[in-house]
Every structure is written in C-alpha cells, then in structure tokens.
Amino acid sequence: MAGGYDSGKQSHDDLRKIRQGLERHPMVASAEGIPPGGYEQVRAELDSNYIEGGSGSSSLTVSWFSGVAPGDRPEFSFHYVDDTQEVGLHHHPNEHVDGWGHVQKRHADDTSYRYVPYTFGSLEPERVVWEVLSFLNDQ
C-alpha cells in the first residue's frame, strides 16, 4: 500500500459501485458481492426476457481490478452466460485482439471463443455497467 492507496480496497469500492449499478438496472433480478466483506466479484441474475435470443436462466459475473496505483487503467470482465451462449466484455491485454477492450462470444455448441476488438465509452464502473447491459440487450 504505497502512499495510502490500497488496490484491494479500491477494487472492492469499485465492485460495490458496480453492484449498486446492477441493482438499479431493469434487466437485473438480483446482484451480490462475493465475498460480502471484501468483494472480489459481483454476480447478478438477469431477466432473460431482456436478452434477445437468450434462453433459460442467465447470469452476469463481474471481476474488476482497479490497478496497482491511482490512475492505472482498470482490468475487468463482464461475463454473461445463459443456456445457449456465453458473451464476455473484457478490458485487459489479450493475445487475440489489439488493444485492451474486446468482446468474446461462444455459443453452447462451440468449443472456442470468437474475439472482436471493442472500445469502451468510459472506464468508470457505473458507466461500464450500463454500457455492458445495453450491449447485451442489443445483441
């Protein structure tokens, strides 16, 4: 913890904001931080009626690391799963695409992901929540 910055606490605080943003979104039935005392992930159950082509139960798992130092780019993933597909929106280095942002998709009958570069409009936790859910709704 250099200079008073605690990356674990900052990541927890950002995940708490993400959970709160998810709870306010009409696509989300419930959201919880895991573990309760110091979030490492947020898991949400979604209303499949909002996802075009979605089937059965659907969930979104969010991981977020705020960075080692203040001002670092966050590394995160929003991973959507239902009975027919998996869609991940990610912001971290990946050998399959140039840049940090990308979408990875796989249908239930596929054995591998397809990767497409993606540019996030914001890196603020609450804004990313709404951007990701809008993206999923548009799919």
Beta bridge partners, 115, equal: 104
**So what's the pLDDT on residue 109?**
81
Residue 104: pLDDT band with limits 50, 70, 90: very high
Structure tokens at 116: 């497409």
Residue 55: pLDDT band with limits 50, 70, 90: low
Q: Kindly tell me if the per-residue pLDDT of 46 is higher than 60.
A: yes
Q: Kindly tell me if the per-residue pLDDT of 59 is higher than 90.
A: yes
Beta bridge partners, 116, equal: 103
**So what's the pLDDT on residue 114?**
92
| 115 alpha carbon, distance to own chain's centre | 16
pTM of the model: 0.90
Residue 63: pLDDT band with limits 50, 70, 90: very high
Rounded mean pLDDT of the chain?
A: 90
